[in-house]
Amino acid sequence: MNFDEYLRYFEDILENTEKHEVYQNDAEYLNYTKLNWSRMNRWLKRFEPSEDMKACIQRIKDDQHWIVITEPWCGDAAHSVAQIYKIVKDNPHIDLDIQLRDTEPFLIDEYLTNGGKSIPKLIIRNDVGHDKVVWGPRPAVLQALFETMKAEGKAFADIKEDIQRWYNEDKGAAIQVELQGLLEEYIAPEQA
């Protein structure tokens, strides 16, 4: 689905929970989703890509397919998906496709993180379907922090709180730096 369809799907979960089995049967998923709706909308209003990020995206002149694998209940996605959308929305060469992790065709099975289905996951493909970039589920510095906290046996509720605090303090800087670095590796010299 495109980003607008994803927003409608997300909103439908909140307005018509009875139509979405996972959310009606798991209060915790629904609560995460409500919180994530608020977080995502805050980023859609406040996040502005850096000038460097904008310049990098403007240099992309070949058609690309950006696939984001996500779910509305995912806390990391509430931040990253909105930021990715804001980064690419004005480049007509970039087609942003949102795919749900827990719905066929289960693309996530090809992009596991340490054997798990961690999301969000961004896959950037060229116009003939070759993967050029795979990113996610979170910026590398935050992923390292997450792994450390997990290894130390920190309570999951505390880890989630620390992660949310990190995203709020970072304000989308890390994802932009990482994406720029990954994109610079394959943007053709004639496009630079």
Note down pLDDT in tens along the chain; length 192 residues.
999 999 999 999 999 999 988 888 888 889 999 999 999 999 999 999 999 999 999 999 999 999 999 999 999 999 999 999 999 999 999 999 999 999 998 999 999 999 999 999 999 998 888 999 999 999 999 999 999 999 999 999 999 999 999 999 999 999 999 999 999 877 755 444
> How many whole angstroms separate alpha carbon 88 and alpha carbon 66?
9
Domain ranges of the chain: 3-184
90, with CB counted inside 10 A (0-12, 13-18, 19+), is: exposed
Supply the pTM of this predicted model.
Answer: 0.93
Tell me: the pLDDT tens digits for 156-183? 999 999 999 999 999 999 999 999 999 9
**3-184: which CATH architecture?**
3-Layer(aba) Sandwich (3.40)
